[in-house]
Chains A and B, each alone.
Chain A
Amino acid sequence: MGLEATDTDDDAALARRISSRAPDRDAAAEAAICRRFGPRIRLYGLKHLRSEAAAADLMQDVLVMVLTKLRDGAVREPERLASFVLGMARQTVVDQQRGGRRRARILEAFPVDLMPAAEEAPEPIDTERLNLCLAALPERERSVLLMTFYDDRPADAVAAELKLTAGNVRVIRHRGLDRLRDCMTQAEGTT
């Protein structure tokens, strides 16, 4: 079965393919799992670990553990694979925060040729356009967006620094982000 067909399979179908092929590998199904869940684990890792490197490590670790469980037939509800993967990600982050370092052991025990090199590359952002669009925003919207994204600050923290209410900051941020995305989208449409 080719990759395109695998990418249309639902989570449960991919999980069952991997389990049923063990101890042999279904490389196409495993690659599809990596493509599908790699970006989600990375985002989860970025949110909770706030580090690209740590998120990349988390993605690698969790995918290895998930594929191992699938090969071992240890995923009892394949139709709930997404919940299973999220649970693995949560547990791994908790382990890391407790100081447990299972990573070296995991990678030693598993071949690394399944790493999700095929993770979808994000669309590059046109920074020249981004600068123009930000410059075109009303001043308060620009201030709030820059102060928010400098270090991913929540509304109440930005509000305290600007002597505004958190609700006011959320409204300004929402408007600014909408305007910014519209401006960026228009730019894409004209190129």
Chain B
Amino acid sequence: MTRAGCATPPQELLAYWLGELDEAREQSLEEHVFACAACTKRLAAIVDLGAAIRTELLGGAFSFVTSAPFIRRIKDAGWQVREYDLPAGGSVACTVTPDDDFVVSYLRAPLRDVRRLDVLIDDTTSGKHRVNDVAFDSESGTLAAVTSTVYVKGLGPSQRRVRLVAVDGVEERVIADYTFNHSPS
């Protein structure tokens, strides 16, 4: 049965897809979706969008901040990950090869009392930009950042300077600076 105007919220459909619902709710929603063309279409759209995101992610399309456990999962799945681990104030000569699927930087810094962390980037190729409110691990004092391999594989010699800034209300405090000196492989 397809119910006209049926509007199971997308977040409920996604929760079903990800296995987040309790067994009773999962069964009842599954029965509803199976009988409802509109919900089938909405769920299929979410699933297809997720698959497209995964494909682009694995193709190296995105730069994003993540976590060390996520990178471990990617490596465990067999993807080739080039990693740079920098202490506060560190610099590194970096590159990328055609075999690399991901390029990851671990930026170490004292982050225990930081509430919000912003990243300021000054890149000789892409210019200056700021990334607000990134995820970080305050206990280990680590920010794990993936750089798009699509982007970095097209780079010539370049330098990227990265600054971590703690934000507390209107107050800003520089935590650490890092320098990446990139050369093509």
Contact = CB atoms under 8 A, between A and B. Distances in A.
Interface range on chain B: under 10, 10 to 19, 20 to 34, or 35 or more? 35 or more
Given A43-B33, A143-B64, 11 more contacts: A89-B34, A123-B45, A123-B48, A127-B52, A131-B62, A139-B134, A147-B67, A149-B49, A152-B18, A161-B66, A164-B135
A86 B33 CA distance: 10
Interface stretch (A22-30, A67-75, A94-102, A173-181): A173-181
Main secondary structure on A side of the interface with B: helix
A181 B131 CA distance: 22
A11 B37 CA distance: 12
Interface of A: 11, 36, 39-40, 43-44, 46-47, 82-83, 85-86, 89, 122-123, 125, 127, 130-131, 134-135, 138-140, 142-143, 145-156, 160-164, 170, 173-174, 177-178, 180-181, 184
A161 B17 contact: no
Contact of A150 (B20, B57, B61): B57
Contact of B73 (A46, A146, A151): A151
11 contacts: A43-B44, A86-B31, A122-B48, A134-B56, A140-B134, A149-B50, A150-B74, A152-B50, A163-B138, A177-B11, A184-B49
Contacts of A173: 11, 14
A174 B11 contact: yes
Contacts of A44: 30, 34
Contacts of A180: 49
Contacts, number: 135
Contact of A155 (B20, B50, B54): B20
Nearest to B67: A161
Contacts of A123: 45, 48
Contacts of B51: 149
By secondary structure, the B interface counts as helix
Interface in B5-44: 10-11, 14-20, 30-31, 33-35, 37, 40, 43-44
Interface string B43-82: 1111111111111110001101111011001100100000
Contacts of B50: 148-149, 152
B137 interface: yes
Given A131-B62, A177-B10, A150 B54 contact: yes
Which 6 A/B pairs are nearest by Cβ-Cβ distance? A82-B35, A149-B50, A125-B52, A149-B53, A86-B34, A161-B69
B78 to A, nearest CB: 13
Nearest to B63: A135
Contact of B66 (A11, A143, A170, A174): A143
B132 interface: yes
Contact of B47 (A43, A140, A146): A43
B18 A147 contact: no
B135 A152 contact: no
Contact of A125 (B49, B132, B138): B49
Contacts of B66: 143, 146-147, 161-162
A139 B102 CA distance: 18
A127 B77 CA distance: 24
B139 interface: yes
A134 B148 CA distance: 13
